[in-house]
Homo-oligomer: A and B are copies of this chain.
C-alpha cells in the first residue's frame, strides 16, 4: 500500500470507488458513466490498485474491477488508533487542568 489517503484524495477516484462498491465493473463500463476518457479511468484504477483499495480480475478481454475491503479496513485502523489517542490526550489534559 503506497498511500490510501492520497488515492482517495481525488474526487474522481472516490466516485470510482463508490461505483465499484455498488457493483463490480469493467474499465469501459466505468468510463462510459464518467466525464473522462478511458485511459484516465485506467490510470485511476492503477493508483487505486496500488493503494490496495480495488482488485482486478481478467474476464476475457474485459477486466472487472471490484472493491478490496482490506484497503478500507487499513484506513479505519489508522483513524481508530489516532482517534482514541486524541481522546486519551484530551482526558489527560482535562485532569491536568483540574489540579490547578
Contacts and interface: CB of A to CB of B under 8 A. Distances in A.
Interface of A: 3, 5-6, 8-11, 14, 17-18, 20-24, 66-67, 69, 72-73, 75-76, 79-80, 82-83, 85-87, 89-90, 93
Nearest to A76: B79
A40 to B, nearest CB: 18
Task: Report copies per complex.
Answer: 2
Contact of A87 (B8, B69, B79, B93): B69
Contacts of A83: 21, 67, 69, 72-73
Nearest to A93: B24
Contacts of A90: 66-67
A41 B41 CA distance: 34
Contacts of A6: 9-10
A72 B6 CA distance: 16
